[in-house]
Structures are given as C-alpha cells and as structure tokens.
A and B are shown apart, each in its own frame.
Chain A
C-alpha cells in the first residue's frame, strides 16, 4: 500500500512545488512540440515518397527556362538558373521595399502635418484621404492603380515627351536617359565620394563647434556647395567623361535609356500611399503627444517657430514615432509580395511563383521564400532598433 502510494505522492509533491512544476510543464511542452514536429517530418517524408518527389535544392541550379521582364541590376536570360531568377526577384523585392519606404515616409509626414493644419479645408481633405485609403485593402489599391496607369497613360506611339525628347512617359513605363561612363568617369566618382566624406566631417565639426561655442553654421548650404562644386570641377577637369544614352522609339518599344516599368510604378505608388496613410496617423499622434508646454516654453525662450519644430517638437515626437514606423516599414515590405497580382517580378513571383510551378518543388521554394522574408524583416527591425536607441540617447 505504502509502496504503491509513494510515487504518486512524489508526483503530487513535485506538482505543488512551483519550481519543479515549471520544469514538468516545460518538459511536457517540449515533448508535445518536438513530437508534433517529428510527426510532421515523418508525414512529409512518407507523402513525398508516395508522390515520388525528392526533397533537395538541386533544382536551384537547373536552367530556369523563362524570361523576366524587369531585372535592372543583373544580367538574366532564360538560360540562367532558378537560383539567379531568385536573386533577380530578391533584388526587385528590395528595390520596391527601399523606394516604397522612402516615398511612404515623405508622403506620410506631409499628410500627417496636413492633418494638423489650422486650415480647415486642408485638414478635412487629408482626413478623408487617410480614412478612405486605410479602410480599403491594399490589394485593391494596387490593382486599381495598375489599371489606371496602364489604361490612362498613352501607348508608346503617343508617348508624352518631356524635356525636349529626353524623357518619355507611356504605359510601357517612364523612360529616362541613362549615363554612359567613359574612361575618367572613375575619377569623378572618387571626387564625389571624397566630397561626401568632407560633408560628413564638416557636419561633425560644425556640431562640435555649436556644442562648445553656440555658433551655428549654415550647414545645409555649405554641404550643398561642397557636393555640387567639387564634382562639377572634376567633371570639367576630366573633359566630361559621361555621356547620356537617350531613349528613342525604335520598332515596338523605346530603346536605350533607363525605364521605370508601369508594374513598378503601380506597386510603388499603391504601397506608398497606403502605408503613408498609416504613417500620417502615427506622425499626427506623435506630434500631438508632445505637450503644448514644450512649444510655449520654446517660444518663451525666444526660439523661432520653425526652429521650435525642428529642435524641440520633432526630436521628441520622433521617439514616439519610430517604433510604430518600423512596423509600417515591415508591413510595406511584406505587402510588396502582392506584386504577384500585377506581374512585378519580385521574389514571390519568380522563385515562389514561376519556379515553383515549373519545377513542382513547393516545399523547397516556399521554405526559401519565407526564409528570405524572415531575414529581411529581421534586418529592418534591427536597423530600426539601432536607430531607435540612437535617438533615445538624446534623452537626458
């Protein structure tokens, strides 16, 4: 009797003790989770075998066989591998995410400030815009913008010519002259890099002077002067080694120059203004959260209104704005996968779309695509965390 009771007593004792109960719960959780994973792994193996598929990443080095219409960075043909098509897709995803975040931030700040405008009409119009945009799914925005871009802009033959036949706008894209670098262009590039370095050094120096003596230099204008004058001098000195490849209509399409494709434009605009509507609300909330006393105190100290905004309000508002801004950047990046609906060739459309279809490797392609999004998300959030901690340091 006693011997049969002993183990259950020990168990109930262990259960009553907070520490050991924690250990028991964790062991059970681990067994369940790993058990589930093991079952899934086993099922995957059996199921793949049943359909005669093999789990391997060899397909990445098979020729892809399809063409990609938009590959601005690297050379890609249908003889390239699935791996390369994935790289093209990744670069396109990063491209749209980068430009999307920039435009969304600019638009978001403008609209957010417009929402706070003392002008009734302006704040109303921006309020209606924000409410309409953020209450309609982003996919509909993207589809609608794409339909508008493609149907309203003229076809290539009737392309709108801007700047004396240098720029062309049609529903095949926005064509701009592309620079061709000749020998000597490298030196101009080096001078440009040097002047950027000079500007950074000058800014640091000006800040130190300001901290120590209070003297304020017109940093912006001096920087602008450094950035324009030095490279132009170098350009003239090297005998203008840069010429321009100007787009011209030949046959069906414009040849030469650089093109911004309508798929990119639609996705970029759609994602940007959708995200901007959210950023506007964040900016508004951030500025409103800085108490009026701050403004009044600044005015009492004799700080001019625009300097008040720049030196007092924005730095404090930023601390509230940045964390939610970060999650908006993440959302924009993830929403860029909707590219697939309008044929912008991002990573979901190339590797997760056509390659998946042509090779039948659902498992492998989806794992890679999800892994890549995870890495991008982690990079963005760690960058924003770094930025956040930087602006936090200004708190004293």
Chain B
C-alpha cells in the first residue's frame, strides 16, 4: 500500500523504463544528434543548407515550373517564359524524342524495335531476379536474347533487312552496350582461365592481350576499328563499321571482366581446388561444377561495375562519327530552330544514363549485401 503514496520508490528491478527525455527523441532529437552535435557539425550543416538553398529553388524553377513543354521552335519557347532562358525548353527534346529513341529505323518496322526493347526488359528481369520460377529457362533466354535481338533488329530470315546505319540514338547506344556486355562475359571468363592456366604459352598470350587492351584508351581502339581494321582483312573484303566497333567494345570489356574474374578465382580458398582434385575431377569438370560457380558469385559486383563502365563508354562511338544518343543529340543542336539548347540536351542524356546506371549499381549493391551475409554464415 505504501507504494501508492510514494510512486518514486521501487523494489530493485521493478522500475519501469521511462521514455528518454524529449530533447533526445523524435524530430528534435534526430536533428540534434545528426545535424548539430558539435560546433563543426553545426557549421557544416549551415554551409550545406546555404549551398542547397542557392541551388535547389532556382534549379527547380528552371527544370519544372519555368519550363516549356511544347513549342515549335526556340523563339516561341522563350516567348512563353517570363524571360528568355528562364526555364528549360523541353519542347526541343520532346519534338526529337522519337528520333532519339529509334534513330533512322524505318517507321513501319519500328514494332520490331519495340519488341526488342520488351524482350530486353524481360531478359534483364529474368536474369537478375533471384527467386523466380524456372530460373534456368530465364537464364537460357537471356543468353539467346542477343541473337534474337540481332535477328529482330537487322532482319533476314523472313524479316525485312535493315541496314546497321539506320540505327541511331538510344537504340544504337543499347545495341553497343548490350553486345559488349553479353559477349564480353564468356570471353572474359575464358581469358581469366587462360591467365591462370599452367601452360606458359597460353598464359603469356592471355596476359599480353589483357594488359594491352587495359593499357590503351577505348578511343584509340575505336580509331583502330574505324580507320585501320579494314587493312587487317583479306583484300577486297570489308565488314560493317558497327560490327567492327562492337568487336572492339567487346574485346575492351572482356579484358576488364577477365581481371575481375581472376580476382574471384584468386579469392577462392585453395582447399576448393584441392578438394576438386582429390575427387578426381578433370580440369573442366572441376571448373564447371566447383570453381567457376563460386568464383563468379564473388565477382558479380565487379562484373556489374564493368558492365556499367562499358555502358557509359558506349557514348565514345560519337568520336568516330556514329550517331548514338549523344552524337545524334549534338547533330540536332545544329538545327537553326533549336540553337543554344545544349543544357537541355545534356541534362536529358545525363538523366537517361543516370537512371539506367543507378539501377544497375543498386542491383549490384543489393547482391553484394546478400553475398556478404552468405559468407559469414
């Protein structure tokens, strides 16, 4: 009974947990611990807020509220604003959107591009999702996809043939990137195995190849593709510039993949190799069943990063005059009706790359986390 008169006294161990003081919880507490915990932090916070205040409202106005979404030319565009260039003139991008997406792909055949985009989405989805029924078939589909896409895009075997020079814009960017990505993986694995081979000649060839490719910039390889490669072919024959470029992009990515996979192979405990040998497995059996599945799993984040790099590098084809999204965009900048709209163009292209690359890197990060827990358990 005495307890009710004196609520401050408790038997040992029966004191209820009191809520923390208001100043350390909720919004205020969060702000205090995360933004103003020390004089230095306060200063940094204030500087950051000032910096954001300088940038965000005016950017927001330029990008959205002050922007014009439809107009016939830049003069009309600017006339609709409070002051010329007060906002972005997205009408320029909107008007050219189809060109940016399909390039010069013939109008009546564009359904093929749409199907290709759709299948591409399906292949990516199927290959990346972890818990999906029939994972094996999805993977097989992803492996077949590049050939299917080649057939759909370039025709033959019943479809109207379309010349490679009709490709442009985002379609060309994706073709270059996806080809580079899908063919560089097997080639890169082969090179990595070759580099770790016990056969000195094989090893030397792989080392020279990998180090050569990694030692020179991609642009020089593209120059080689555009100016020199025809000299390497039998006299009188030549093949399409796009294929030459695709070969170079693939070789370039393969050399980087090879190094990532080699890292994975080295990261594997030597017990795995010994165990495989002890079981009497041959070289191919042990690699197929034991070594590669584990090594590739460790290397996935690195491989995805290489893919992102090779995707971003695909814009370099503009330097040899190919009309990818950036090259085509810059050609459109010459249109007398739409001069001086470079910021809009660059922001649009940056956004395009940001969205796709960011998605890829988030995926790689989530895989990394998953794999990390797998190791500790």
The CA of A290 and the CA of B353, in the complex, are separated in Å by: 34
Q: What is the chain A residue whose CB lies nearest that of B52?
A: A125
Q: What is the chain A residue whose CB lies nearest that of B198?
A: A22
The CA of A33 and the CA of B227, in the complex, are separated in Å by: 23
A331 CB to nearest B CB, Å = 9
Decide: B315 and A119 in contact? CB cutoff 8 A.
Answer: no
Number of A-B contacts (CB under 8 A): 142
Q: Residue B326 at the A interface, CB < 8 A?
A: yes
Residues facing B in A103-125 (CB within 8 A) are: 117-122, 125
Q: How many chain A residues touch B (Cβ–Cβ < 8 Å)?
A: 52
Decide: A337 and B44 in contact? CB cutoff 8 A.
Answer: no
Decide: B354 and A136 in contact? CB cutoff 8 A.
Answer: yes
Decide: B217 and A118 in contact? CB cutoff 8 A.
Answer: no
A134 CB contacts on chain B under 8 angstroms: 357, 361
Q: Residue B308 at the A interface, CB < 8 A?
A: yes
Decide: B217 and A139 in contact? CB cutoff 8 A.
Answer: no
Q: Residue B342 at the A interface, CB < 8 A?
A: yes
A120 CB contacts on chain B under 8 angstroms: 34-35
A280 CB to nearest B CB, Å = 14
| Residue of A26, A118, A119 touching B202 (CB-CB under 8 A) | A26
B198 CB contacts on chain A under 8 angstroms: 22
B298 CB to nearest A CB, Å = 16
Residues facing A in B35-81 (CB within 8 A) are: 35, 37, 41, 44-45, 48-49, 51-52
Q: What is the chain A residue whose CB lies nearest that of B358?
A: A135
Residues facing B in A23-65 (CB within 8 A) are: 25-26, 29-30, 33, 39-40, 43-44, 46-48, 50
B326 CB contacts on chain A under 8 angstroms: 137, 139-140
Q: Residue A335 at the B interface, CB < 8 A?
A: yes
A29 with B205: in contact, given A135-B358, A136-B350 (CB under 8 Å)? yes
Sort chain B's interface into a size bin.
Answer: 35 or more
Q: Residue A147 at the B interface, CB < 8 A?
A: yes
| Residue of A139, A366, A369, A374 touching B316 (CB-CB under 8 A) | A139
The CA of A130 and the CA of B225, in the complex, are separated in Å by: 33
A135 with B44: in contact, given A26-B202, A119-B34, A373-B220 (CB under 8 Å)? no
B234 CB to nearest A CB, Å = 6
The CA of A120 and the CA of B223, in the complex, are separated in Å by: 46
Q: Residue B216 at the A interface, CB < 8 A?
A: yes
**Binary contact readout B173-202 vs A (1 if CB under 8 angstroms, 0 otherwise):** 000000000000000000000000011111
Q: Residue A340 at the B interface, CB < 8 A?
A: yes
Decide: A135 and B220 in contact? CB cutoff 8 A.
Answer: no
Decide: B312 and A340 in contact? CB cutoff 8 A.
Answer: no
| Residue of A30, A135, A348 touching B201 (CB-CB under 8 A) | A30
The CA of A363 and the CA of B51, in the complex, are separated in Å by: 51
B residues adjacent to A (C-beta < 8 A): 34-35, 37, 41, 44-45, 48-49, 51-52, 198-202, 205, 212, 214-220, 223-224, 227-228, 230-235, 308, 312-313, 315-316, 318-319, 326, 342-343, 346, 349-350, 353-354, 357-358, 361
19 pairs, CB–CB < 8 Å, chain A vs chain B: A26-B202, A47-B233, A50-B235, A119-B41, A121-B44, A125-B48, A125-B51, A139-B326, A140-B353, A144-B350, A147-B343, A337-B217, A340-B219, A363-B228, A366-B220, A366-B223, A366-B227, A373-B220, A374-B215
